[in-house]
Amino acid sequence: MKNKSLVSIEDYGKNNILKILELAEYFEKNPNQKILDGKVIASLFFEPSTRTRLSFESAVNKLGGSIIGFTDAGSSSVSKGESLKDTIKTVSNYSDLIVMRHPLEGSAKYASEVSDVPIINAGDGANQHPTQTLLDLYSIKKTQGKLEDLNIFLVGDLKYGRTVHSLLMAMSNFNPVFNFISHPKLRIPAEHKLFLDNLGIKYYEHTEFTDIISKADIIYMTRVQRERFSDPMEYEKTKNAYVLNNAMLENTKENLRILHPLPRVNEISEDVDTNTKAYYFTQALNGVFTRQAIIASTLGLI
Ligand code: CP
């Protein structure tokens, strides 16, 4: 993986995914390793972020590196009309690695083609969020003791949810059964179903999940993302379709854990936060160790 961009989770095969998880475990036990001494990581966020940006920053700091970048493209020369290509070419002169979030699908791939340093995709529109997926896998492995043969429920915005799209691809290496629960307007796209069909992976689609929740090992809740809708009425119709609350968890499996990439709006009631099955804040913490692993691996420092 040295010097290789991470644009899509498909860029890492099963073995590389497992290596990253192993490395993340090492960083969880040994967080302060000054292996990035003299290295500069650029963090270019053309879209808002709390967890991804700050956990990357935390990871770089723990590894002893420096971080440069912007959190708002409006404060960069993009606001004067500079192209993504010129921005990336310029920033790759100043850094050893670029972490980029951008609203356009395919922007990370394009950036990787014009950059002189590796690009880490921190989310490109509704397409992919591979570093989120690696921390999701780390969280699943940690809570379930394995990745294989799990019953994964994906709930909410399955159409535009980039975390869902990346997770589905990565988990497909581990013989899952998927249950997709969404409003009919936010169903999982046909191309992802075709991907699963070709691999012979079982999946079921539902519009309700109260009756089937007792079978889940992982419930992966997602936010209906207002920013992805061109029609505000469509957002209003779908935004509160699924709200998980504590009472719904009564007859669920002991090993069940609730994951969410966050931010949450209404889709998980706050009464779930104190349930031992709620894992989403620890999941966000796991982002630091996983991103330490991704940076170290991409720069060939381990
Ligand atoms: N999970 C995630 O991408 O969160 P942020 O948008 O806060 O980075």
pLDDT in tens, 99-124: 999 999 999 999 999 999 999 999 99
pTM of the model: 0.95
The rounded Å distance from CA 211 to ligand 1 centre is 30
pLDDT tens-digit readout, 29-52 = 999 999 999 999 999 999 999 999
Name the residue of 43, 47, 52 to mutate for ligand 1: max ligand atoms within 8 A of Cβ. Answer: 52
* Residues with pLDDT less than 50, the chain: none
Question: Which pLDDT belongs to residue 209?
Answer: 86
pLDDT, residue 79, reads: 92
Residue 200 CA, ligand 1 centroid: distance in Å: 31
How many angstroms is it from 198 CA to the middle of ligand 1?
Answer: 30
In order of their start, the domains of the chain are 9-128+287-298 (3.40.50.1370), 130-284 (3.40.50.1370)
Q: Given this model, what pLDDT does residue 225 score?
A: 80
> Is the C-beta atom of 262 inside 6 A of ligand 1?
yes
* Ligand 1 binding pocket includes 261 (Cβ within 6 Å): yes
Write down the pLDDT at residue 210.
85
| pLDDT at 173 (0 to 100) | 97
Which pLDDT score, from 0 to 100, does residue 130 have? 97
pLDDT of residue 228: 79
Q: Is the CB of 49 under 6 A from ligand 1?
A: yes
Write down the pLDDT at residue 229.
80
Judge if the beta carbon of residue 99 lies within 6 A of ligand 1. no
Residue nearest atom 5 in ligand 1 by C-alpha distance: 49
Quote the pLDDT of residue 157: 93
For atom 3 of ligand 1, which residue has the closest CA?
Answer: 52
SS (H, E, C) the chain: CCCCCECCHHHCCHHHHHHHHHHHHHHHHCCCCCCCCCCEEEEEECCCCCHHHHHHHHHHHHCCCEEEEECCHHHCHHHHCCCHHHHHHHHHHHCCEEEEEECCCCHHHHHHHHCCCCEEEEEECCCECHHHHHHHHHHHHHHHCCCCCCEEEEECCCCCCHHHHHHHHHHHHHCCEEEEECCHHHCCCHHHHHHHHHHCCCEEEECCCCCCHHHCCEEEECCCCHHHCCCHHHHHHHCCCCCECHHHHCCCCCCCEEECCCCCCCCECHHHCCCCCECHHHHHHHHHHHHHHHHHHHCCCC
